[in-house]
Chains A and B, each alone.
Chain A
Amino acid sequence: MTIGLYHPGHSPLHRLSAGTKVTGLLVASLALFLTPSVWFAFWSVPVAFAVYLSTGAPFRRLMAQLRGPAILLGLVLAFHLLFGSVADGLLAVARFATLILLASAVTLSTRISEMAELVEWGLQPLRPVGVNPEKVGLAIALAIRFVPLIAEEFRHIREAQAARGLAANPLALIVPLVIRTLKSADELADAIEARGYER
C-alpha cells in the first residue's frame, strides 16, 4: 500500500518538475472546461494517451490502470445516451478521458516525495492564515510511515478473527483496529511530549 503509483523512469515527463506538471494539468483542465468544442475535447484524447504512454511504464500496467475509469466513463456515457444528449455525453467522456490520462501520467512520473514538497511549498503563502507547512509535512510523513504498520495490524486481526469465523464481520475487524490505533496514537504522543518536543 505504500508502494506508490509512481513508476521510475527517464521519460521527458519524469524530468519535468512536479510544479510544472501539475500546472500543466490545471491549464489543460481549464482549457477543456472553457472550450465547448467537442472536436477539441475529442482530439485531445489521443494526445493525452500519447503523453500517458510516454511515461514509459509497462503497457499492460498502463492499460490495467485504465479499467476502473473506463467502466465509470462507460456508465456516464450510457446515462447520456439514455437520458441526455449524445453530444453532451461524448464531450463529457472525452474531457474525462483526457484529464484522467494526463493526471495519471503526472502521478506515474512524479515521486511521492516530490509531490509532498510541492504541497509544502504551495502552502507557504497560507502561513498568515495559521497554516504551518512543516506540520503538514510531518503529518504526511507520519501517516505514510504508519500505513503499512496499521495494515499489518489489520491482517493480524483478520487472521485472529478468522479463527473464530468472524473474518467477514466489519465490527470484529474494525473495532479492535480502531482501539489499537487510538492507543498507539496516545502512546506515541505521550512519548513525544515526554521528550519535550511539544511546543
Chain B
Amino acid sequence: MTKDVSTRDIVYIALFAALMAAINLVPAIQIGFLPVPITAQTLGVMLAGSLIGAKRGGLAILLFVLLVALGLPLLAGGNGGLSVFFGPTAGFILSWPIAAFVTGWLTEVNWRRMNAVWFFVFSVIGGVVVVYLIGIPWLAMVAKLSLWDATKGSMIFVPGDLIKAGVAAVIAETVRRSYPLMQTVR
C-alpha cells in the first residue's frame, strides 16, 4: 500500500495528520434540536479524502490514528493512548483511514465534476457510511450487543454527521477554488 510514497507525499501526509489534530481543537457544537453535540473529528477524515486524495488522505488519517496509539492526546477532549483502542468506540476510530481512502478514491475518480454537492455525497459515503459499517459491528462484537441495539445506539449521531459532511463539503469546495495551485489528487 505504501509502495510509491514520495518525500512530497510524506510531507503532505504528516502535515495533514497534524492538521487533523488541530481540527479537533474546534469545540463541539451543540445544535438546538440535536441531543448530542457534534465533534469535529470526522470532519478531518472527510477533508483528508476530499483534498489530498485516496492514498495520501488514507495514510494521513492512518498516521493520525497511529499517533493517538503512540500516546498523544489528539482526540476530542484530549483523549488518546492505547486505551482508546480497547473501548467500545475503537471500531469507529479504526475505520477512519479507510473512510478517508474511500472518500478520496471517489473524489479522484470524479475530479473533473467535483463541486460542493459531490463533496457532500462522497463525504457521507466515506465519512458516515463506511465509518458506521465498520464501527457498529465492532461495537456489537466487543460490547456483546446485538447488531440492532448497537445500530440503535449509534443512530443518534447520524444527523450531526450529516451536517458535518455538509460543512466538510463547503470547506473542500472553498479550498479547491481558492488554492488552484494545490497539488491535490494527482
Chain A interface (Cβ within 8 Å of chain B)? Answer: 1-6, 22, 25, 29, 33, 68-69, 72-73, 75-76, 79-80, 83-84, 88-89, 91-92, 95-96, 99-104, 106-108, 110-112, 115-116, 119, 129-132, 135-136, 138-140, 142-144, 146-147, 149-151, 153-154, 168, 170-171, 173-175, 177-179, 181-186, 188-189, 192-193, 197-199
Partner of A96, one of B23, B72, B142, B171: B142
- How many Å lie between the Cα of A68 and that of B81 in the bound state? 13
Complexed CA–CA distance, A186 and B183 (Å): 8
B51 within 8 A of A: yes
**B14 in contact with A143 (CB, 8 Å):** yes
Closest Cβ neighbor of B70 among chain A residues? A115
Interface of A, helix, strand, loop or mixed by DSSP: helix
Flag if A84 contacts B146 (CB, 8 Å). Answer: yes
Residue of B3, B5, B80, B175 near A5 (CB, 8 A) is B80
- Given contacts A1-B74, A96-B143, A179-B178, whether A131 and B18 have CB atoms under 8 Å apart is no
- B17 x A143 contact (CB < 8 A): yes
Residues on B with beta carbons closer than 8 Å to the beta carbon of A130: 1-3
Check B22–A147 contact: CB distance below 8 A: yes
Q: Contacts of A22 on B, CB cut-off 8 Å?
A: 82
Of the four ranges (under 10, 10 to 19, 20 to 34, 35 or more), the interface on chain B belongs to 35 or more
The listed residue (A91, A112, A198) touching B72 by CB distance below 8 A is A112
- A-B pairs under 8 A by CB, number: 228
Within the complex, which residue of A129, A150, A170, A198 is in contact with B21, where a contact is CB–CB below 8 Å?
Answer: A150
- CB-based contact B149/A140 at 8 Å: no
Partner of B14, one of A3, A102, A142: A142
B48-61 CB contact bits vs A (8 Å, 1 = yes)?
Answer: 00011000000100
Once bound together, how far apart are the Cα atoms of A98 and B82, in whole Å? 13
> Nearest residue in A to B3 (C-beta to C-beta)?
A130
**Could you pull out 28 A-B pairs where Cβ atoms are within 8 angstroms?**
A2-B72, A4-B70, A5-B80, A25-B86, A69-B87, A84-B144, A89-B144, A92-B144, A96-B142, A96-B143, A103-B81, A104-B82, A106-B82, A130-B2, A135-B2, A136-B2, A139-B13, A144-B72, A147-B72, A168-B29, A170-B26, A178-B19, A182-B179, A182-B182, A186-B183, A192-B7, A198-B7, A199-B7
Query: Of A154, A192, A199, which one neighbours B11 at CB under 8 angstroms?
Result: A192
Q: How far is the CB of A4 from chain B (nearest CB, A)?
A: 5
Excluding A72-B87, A100-B86, A140-B66, 17 further A-B contacts by CB distance (< 8 Å) are A22-B82, A33-B142, A100-B87, A108-B81, A115-B70, A116-B70, A130-B3, A131-B2, A139-B13, A139-B59, A142-B15, A143-B64, A144-B67, A185-B12, A185-B15, A186-B181, A186-B183
A106 to B71, CA, bound (A): 9
Residue B25, interface by CB 8 Å? yes
A103 to B71, CA, bound (A): 10
